Amino acid sequence: MTHTAGPLAGLTVVELGQVLAGPFAGAIFADLGATVIKVERPEGGDDARQMGTAFRHGDSLTFQVFNRGKASVTIDLKSAQGIEALHAIVADADVLVHNLRPGVPAQLGLDGASMCERHPRLVYCEMSAFGHVGPMAARPGYEPLIQAFSGLSSISGDPDGPPVRMGASVCDQGTGMWTVIGALSLLQRRLVTGLGGIVQASLLETALTWLAQKGDAWMNEGRLPERHASGHPGFVPYEAFDGADGPFLICVGNDRLFVKFAQVLERPDWPTDARFRGNRDRLANKAELLAQIRGLLIRRPRGEWMTALEAAGVPCAPIHDVPQALSQPQVEALGIIQTVPGEDFRLTGLPLSFDGERPAIRSAAPRLGEHNTAHLTD
The four Cα atoms 159, 165, 166, 172 give a dihedral, to 10 degrees, of 150
375 catalytic, yes or no?
A: no
Pick the catalytic residue from 3, 57, 232, 375.
Answer: 232
Residue numbers annotated as active site: 232
